[in-house]
């Protein structure tokens, strides 16, 4: 959350001449409502079910850069599809940076109640090992401009493919 997945993904796709897709935006488009509304009516479990189906579909496409929501990695099926069907990148960031980047964001259901720092720390403890196990590449996004991170990522992808 707040690592820059959508921003950096969009920049990377442009640099590579590929289409950019965001699984969260695709879920919203297909359902006709935003993610906070899905959480309100279906809870996190309902959203995760929609997310799983969307990631299964999107990872079968060629020629795309896909950004997923931060919790997508919790589902073993998602991890399998992401790691086997494409080159998966973990955009790593610290909790301090996540707090800075999400401080005015009201669209993140998991950050709307309680202590934001404690929530982000818990999520990082739960998710970081899964991200690292799933990703072929890990890129630190702290204190870096999105364009510079996208350029660095493109270099790493090209080196990885050689």
The CATH architecture assigned to 5-161 reads 3-Layer(aba) Sandwich (3.40)
Q: Which residue has the tokens 């990703």?
A: 135
For the record, the structure tokens of 32 come out as 């006709």
Q: pLDDT value at position 78?
A: 97
Burial class of residue 107, CB neighbours in 10 A (0-12, 13-18, 19+) = exposed
Nearest to 26 by CA among 35, 37, 15: 35
pLDDT of residue 103: 72
Residue with tokens 């359902």: 31
- State residue 104's pLDDT score: 67
What pLDDT does residue 2 have?
72
Would you say 109 and 36 are in contact if contact means Cβ atoms under 8 Å apart? yes
Question: What is the residue-level pLDDT of the chain in tens, covering all 162 positions?
Answer: 777 889 999 999 999 999 999 999 999 999 999 998 999 999 989 999 999 999 999 999 999 999 998 899 999 999 999 999 999 999 999 999 888 877 766 666 566 667 888 888 998 999 999 999 999 999 999 888 999 999 999 999 998 876
Ordered by start, the domain boundaries in the chain are 5-161
Concatenate the DSSP letters of all residues of 28-51 into one string: HHHHTS-HHHHHHHHHHHHHHHHH
| pLDDT for 87 | 95
The pLDDT, as a whole number, for residue 148 is 94
């Amino acid at each position: 959350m707040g690592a820059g997945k959508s921003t950096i993904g969009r920049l990377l796709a442009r640099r590579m001449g590929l289409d950019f897709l965001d699984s969260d935006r695709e879920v919203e488009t297909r359902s006709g409502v935003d993610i906070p509304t899905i959480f309100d009516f279906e809870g996190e479990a309902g959203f995760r079910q929609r997310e799983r189906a969307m990631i299964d579909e999107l990872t079968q496409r060629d020629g795309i850069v896909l950004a997923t929501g931060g919790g997508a990695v919790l589902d073993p099926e998602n991890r399998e599809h992401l790691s086997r069907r494409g080159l998966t990148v973990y955009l790593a960031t610290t909790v301090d940076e996540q707090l800075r980047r999400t401080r005015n964001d009201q669209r993140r259901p998991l950050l709307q109640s309680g202590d934001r720092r404690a929530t982000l720390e818990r999520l990082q403890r739960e998710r970081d090992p899964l991200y690292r196990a799933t990703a072929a590449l890990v890129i630190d996004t702290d204190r870096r401009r999105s364009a510079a991170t996208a350029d660095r990522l493109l270099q790493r992808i090209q080196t990885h493919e050689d």
